[in-house]
Amino acid sequence: MKKLALFASLSILLFSCGKAKDGEFFVSGTAKGIENGKLVILQTIDESGMNTISLDTVKVQNEQFEISGKISEPSIYSLVFPSQNGAIPFIAEHGDIEVEVYKDSVQASKVSGTYNNDEFYQFNINIKKEQKSIQKAMETFQNKNKSAIEAAQKSNDTVTLNKMTKEFKDIQKRYPDFFINYAENNPKSFISVYIIDGMFRSPDVDVKKVEKMYNNLEDDLKKTKPGKKVKTKLDELKGVKNSNEVAVGKKAPNFSAKTPDGKSISLNENLGKVTIIDFWASWCKPCRAENPNVVALYNELHSKGLNIVGFSLDEDLAAWKDAIAKDKITWPQMSNLKKWELETITKTYKVEQIPTTFLLDANGTIVAKDLRGNELKAKVKELLGVK
């Protein structure tokens, strides 16, 4: 009986020591070196993702502070220290959360006590290590290949330049790969939901991969607001993909958007005997480098029946207009001035990088994709029947 009584007492002690009530999180902070009376502000971001909301404010007393709040599901919050010009991001979730504030490096402060905050803290440590490793690899690559790249540029050795570019991009790719690998291997972590959502920002988003990673998440994470957001985006992209298959030999789907002057035009009303659809942007250096060749081709063959329809992925109207003028582009241009991940036309045409071009015959059927230079010119002349 004594053993049972002792066990019962320990059970009561263990299960009653938490400060967080049902539906709440409770933050206990240690702030060594921060004076009494200094403010700690609890903040979050509204659903638009644009505005900061202050939820509560407490003061540091004897190098400590406590703050709590109601929560229905995990969410990203911050503890802001105006006196230190810093903030500590953390995951507000049910439970007792401990924060050890590093006065001289507030953002690097330690947050622990709940599963997601332990994960978040370790994740941030690991990503900083990966960033340093990638930076070192990039510097090593540049120092090693500087002379070879300069020589290739002078001699216009595109084979070498393409090879070097690929190697450099492979190093850069380690950064997004780090995030993706984490999300794949941590389906219980709240961070994984945000990583998966971030994958939609990539111009070459792999919908099947995103869907697989989403399906692998814990059910509770799928029910959160960011989880539902991922599901909505997936459904939208899958709908676009299934309804508009684009390939050589198939009719090019019609689309419409506004010109720089705000007039709405469509692809179909601008078709010629031969038509090039050119996906580009003012900020895309390879696009701008290719523009003089396309301008020369258009000037030579437009009178023979070549039309070009440009679709820009610009978001800045002024920058778009400036590039059109500087590059002396005279063919019809259109854009929705949307972010790449929100542009359904690029999803329809499966545009994963720019510049991307589609070559259409007189019937609007796709006959080739991503031809450049002499190869493009030869094909256009063939379709036009011009020698």
104-141 pLDDT tens trace:
899 889 999 999 999 999 999 999 999 999 999 999 99
- Residues 236, 217 share a domain: yes
Are residues 308 and 276 in contact, defined by beta-carbon separation less than 8 angstroms? yes
Are residues 72 and 23 in contact, defined by beta-carbon separation less than 8 angstroms? yes
Residue 11's pLDDT band (boundaries 50, 70, 90)? very low
18-37 pLDDT tens trace:
787 888 999 999 999 999 99
- Take residue 4 and report the two structure tokens written for it: 């049972």
Q: Is residue 251 part of a domain?
A: no
41-77 pLDDT tens trace:
999 988 766 688 999 999 999 999 999 999 999 999 9
Kindly report whether the global pTM for this prediction surpasses the value 0.75: no
Span of 241-255, 285-299, 365-379 with lowest mean pLDDT: 241-255
Domain range enclosing 361? 256-384
Beta-ladder partners of 256: 266
State yes or no: pLDDT of 328 exceeds 90.
yes
Q: Is residue 379 part of a domain?
A: yes
Taking CB atoms within 8 Å and a gap of at least 24, the contacts of 174-183 are 174/130, 174/133, 174/134, 174/137, 175/130, 175/131, 175/134, 176/202, 178/126, 178/127, 178/130, 179/127, 180/213, 182/123, 183/213
pLDDT value at position 8?
41
Give me the percent of the chain exceeding a pLDDT of 90.
65
Are residues 304 and 386 in contact, defined by beta-carbon separation less than 8 angstroms? yes
- Residues 71, 125 share a domain: no
Q: What is the DSSP letter of 92?
A: E
Domain boundary among 86, 112, 138: 112
Number of domains the chain is built from: 3
Q: Taking residues 212-235, report their average pLDDT.
A: 92
- Take residue 143 and report the two structure tokens written for it: 């120092």
DSSP 269-331: GG--SEEEEEEE-TT-HHHHHHHHHHHHHHHHHGGGTEEEEEEE--S-HHHHHHHHHHTT--S
Are residues 227 and 258 in contact, defined by beta-carbon separation less than 8 angstroms? no
Number of residues that this document lists for the chain:
387
Domain boundary among 112, 134, 162: 112
- Take residue 10 and report the two structure tokens written for it: 């320990």
Q: What is the distance between the alpha carbons of residues 349 and 240, in angstroms, rounded to a whole number?
A: 10
Looking at this protein, which amino acid is placed at residue 154? K
Read off the CATH number of the domain in which 296 is found.
3.40.30.10
Q: Is residue 7 part of a domain?
A: no
Cα separations in angstroms, 80 against 69, 85, 226, 234: 15, 8, 23, 34
